[in-house]
Structure 1
Amino acid sequence: MPDIQATGKYLIIIGILVVVAGGLVYFFGDKLHWLGRLPGDIRIERDNFRFFFPITTMLLLSGLLNLVIWLVRRFLS
């Protein structure tokens, strides 16, 4: 059975990170227009068809999320 206090601690940390991310998007959303338009993101637009696959953006966000998770586990565990 997992430790309920540790689970609560992780939920609080995740909640704080979501609030911080929401604040960044809310206050700096106009400055983040490049997100999703990085070199390597695939975008095809035709008359009645749009295809968008932000592979570079996903890799960047995945790397940042992994760094944050590693830092949280290193300093809080």
Structure 2
Amino acid sequence: MDLNTIGRLLVLGALGLLVLGGLFLLLGRFGLDRLPGDLVFRRGGMTVYFPIGLMILLSIVGTILLNLFFRR
């Protein structure tokens, strides 16, 4: 693999993370950061957050979008 290919992969990966980060910011702005099914454990000064409901929602939306784009 040459340096051009590695550079392109890094740029594409960074753009993908940028889009994903923007998506999470928008979801938080619309109040979708705490959905039913999300687990939050608080003990003392520590909080552990498992966004299971959000991950299920993103999985469903992602599956639908990928099926629309890559349908034969």
Give the aligned residue type for 1:58. M
Q: 2:67 aligns with which of 45, 65, 70?
A: 70
Q: 1:47 aligns with which of 26, 44, 48?
A: 44
May I ask how many residue pairs the two structures share in their alignment? 57
- What's the CA shift string for 1:24-55, capped at 9, x where partnerless? 828x93x5322330111001122222111111
1:32 aligns with 27
SS in 1 for 2:22: helix
User: Moved runs in structure 1, 4+ residues, more than 3 A?
Assistant: none
Change (3 A) 1:66 1:37: same
Give the RMSD, CA atoms, in angstroms: 3.1
SS in 2 for 1:45: strand
Partner Cα separation in structure 1 for residue 46 and residue 20 of structure 2: 33
Unaligned 5+ runs, structure 1 = 1-14
